[in-house]
Structure 1
């Protein structure tokens, strides 16, 4: 291939979060960049589709705002970021109910134990999970540098 004056210095393949960040960094450094992607929009695996009245989130939808690189690349104050409760909305006959980590929401824990959307076995597993999560708070207190993940969970 013969280079011409109009050829970009850099070609970034993929317009996901990493590709977009790379292209912006190169552009800010005064480099000529061509960003290409096989998809019909930017964002890669992180996107929201609207189909037949439903909102479908694809990809990783949790944004950890404490990362310095994220803060460097995004104007976080311009985004409509909101915290969420760890859990799920479960369809129960005619409505959604919140079933969540009991450490996050007492209402969500009560809903998980009383909903007709869960079987008795599901409720037992829910309680066991809640107890295991409570125990997990102390998992890292006994951590040592030469400890395996299996040993940590014992």
Structure 2
């Protein structure tokens, strides 16, 4: 596949992921992950180890499934009302599949979250390891590097 076609396919996939989050369709969002997929939000800038250094979030597919299930439970009072989000992605860079078959992508992002008359803004870089599947991809790894990682963060209740 030529570079322009790959770039277009990856951009479309990343925009779909953002749209699913913004629409609150967390079940469909979870389906974008490979069974061995990981969602990682490091706690420190430049963090390279997710297993021996504490992370803000480090969740495999089974734990992500529990997170999604809990988003819809009536007991989730912290989510009443459910936060609304708007994701903006830019500067998307794509690297063709390497020897491991994964397509790597990076993007800058801004996520604006609104809940109960309070607006929070999160920003940084997202890095993806994407496993080609049919005409699309599955997420093997999504790493969210917050611009203010290492600082004091507000409560993060939903993925972005």
Same fold (TM over 0.5): no
Larger Rg: 1
Q: TM-score, normalised by structure 1?
A: 0.20
Larger RCO, structure (CA 8 Å, separation 6 or more)? 2
Q: TM-score, normalised by structure 2?
A: 0.20
* Greater share of residues in helix: 1
